A = this chain, B = another copy of it.
């Protein structure tokens, strides 16, 4: 073995006194290679620690067996579940993945897209950052027929393939639940309504109000960043209202946690004075007092579905371009933060 140098198929060919072409075929389990030769090749390759040079291979084949992933953020239960789901499927199918995250900045998202384009991924799975306004940075992928699949945070009225939950329904469920618990004035804390998920949840919220004979009161809509400060700010705005709400639907558990904490510190009793429903079923919801009612949806399933669809398309056994919208199930998880009535409809003792 030449020291410092990698082993190539030529080394194997020379050693085994066969041609490099046969080695290449043997390594790929090509049908037209003698079983014994194949075994000899693979055993020897294993023995001397051969590893294929993916650059040479990709250069030649013009495909990378790699899927790029762009997510808006890493540190949430939901996203890591999705990643786990994606990994499960891609690993099964022999695809590599490259994970990038945009920290909720469309600027970084654009850079990531460019980077993955340069890396020549075979396909892309994307959840948009909060402030992404258009899909121009994915145009090169569309142009080159590299499939792009969006999940969760997707383009409003896009004609792209997406994996989502029914956010309208979720918003409706959350709001209806608060109404069922006797709330008369329900506020909604959310992020920029240009992002589909928030717009849709908002729509569900309004619909539930309407269906229950209430009219939407604009002053009860609070738009904040989805971070610690946003939660505190939302609470402050609620506290400052002349006519305070008695229920709040917050579109993110982390924000809900900070909002609730701030309310409680200011003498509000939850759920008695104000009932609260969050969104995402983050671990944090179980840790705070009272525990947070929330919307739960299966990240891992979404990841699996996204990866499976993308790979099927890549293998030609599915077709993304017929404008699929795949909707994953979701449900309301009732906990203490919203529970004002016992099961039989009486006011809870607590």
Residues of chain A at the chain B interface (Cβ within 8 Å): 4, 49, 51-56, 58-59, 74-77, 79-80, 83-84, 96, 98-101, 103, 115, 117-120, 140, 144-145, 228, 254, 257-258, 261, 283-284, 286-289
Enumerate chain B residues within 8 angstroms of A77, measured Cβ to Cβ: 75
Contact partner of A74 (CB less than 8 A), chosen from B74, B286, B288, is B74
A52 close to B118 (CB less than 8 A): yes
Which one, B59, B261, B287, contacts A55 given CB within 8 A?
B59
Taking a contact as CB atoms under 8 Å apart, the answer to whether B257 and A287 are in contact is yes
- Nearest B residue to A58 via CB reads B55
- Distance from A79 Cβ to chain B, minimum over Cβ atoms (Å): 8
Distance in angstroms between the alpha carbons of A175 and B115 in the assembled complex:
47
Q: Does B118 contact A51, Cβ atoms closer than 8 Å?
A: yes
B84 contacts A80, C-beta separation under 8 Å = no
Report the bound CA distance from A4 to B144 in whole Å. Answer: 7
- Give CA–CA (A96, B52) in the complex, Å: 21
**Smallest CB–CB gap between A3 and chain B, Å?**
10
Interchain CA distance A80-B232 in the complex, whole Å: 23
Q: A131–B101 Cα gap in the complex (Å)?
A: 27
Distance of A83 Cα from B102 Cα, bound (Å): 12
Decide if A84 touches B59 in the complex (CB within 8 Å): no
Q: Given that A75-B75, A118-B52 are contacting pairs, would A283 and B228 also be in contact in the complex, using a CB cutoff of 8 Å?
A: yes
Contact, CB under 8 Å: B53 / A59: yes
CB nearest to A265 among chain B residues: B289
Give Cα distance in the complex from A58 to B118, angstroms.
13
A118 to chain B, nearest CB (A): 6
The answer to whether A120 and B55 touch across the interface, beta carbons within 8 angstroms, is yes
**12 A–B contacts from the bound complex (CB under 8 Å):** A4-B144, A4-B145, A49-B140, A51-B118, A55-B55, A55-B120, A74-B83, A99-B99, A99-B100, A228-B283, A258-B287, A288-B288
Beyond A261-B287, A287-B288, A289-B289, 4 additional pairs, beta carbon < 8 A: A51-B118, A54-B118, A75-B77, A254-B283
Q: How far is the CB of A229 from chain B (nearest CB, A)?
A: 12
Q: How far is the CB of A348 from chain B (nearest CB, A)?
A: 18
Contact yes or no, B84 A103, CB < 8 A: yes
| Residues in B whose Cβ lies below 8 Å from that of A96 | 115, 119
Partner of A284 from B4, B51, B140, B287 at Cβ < 8 Å = B287
Bound state CA distance, A218 and B69, in angstroms? 47
In the assembled complex, which residues on chain B have CB atoms less than 8 Å from the CB atom of A286?
228, 261
Given the complex, which residues of B lie within 8 Å of A288, measured CB to CB? 287-289
Interchain CB contact under 8 A, A51 and B115: no
Chain B's closest residue to A60 (CB) is B55
Which residues of B lie under 8 Å from residue A287 when comparing CB positions? Answer: 257-258, 261, 284, 287-288
Q: How far is the CB of A342 from chain B (nearest CB, A)?
A: 20
A145 to B76, CA, bound (A): 36
A80–B101 Cα gap in the complex (Å)?
10
Most buried by B among A51, A59, A115: A59
Instruction: Point out the residue from B56, B76, B140 that lies within 8 Å of A75, measured CB to CB.
Output: B76
Inter-chain contacts of A83 with B (CB < 8 A): 74, 101
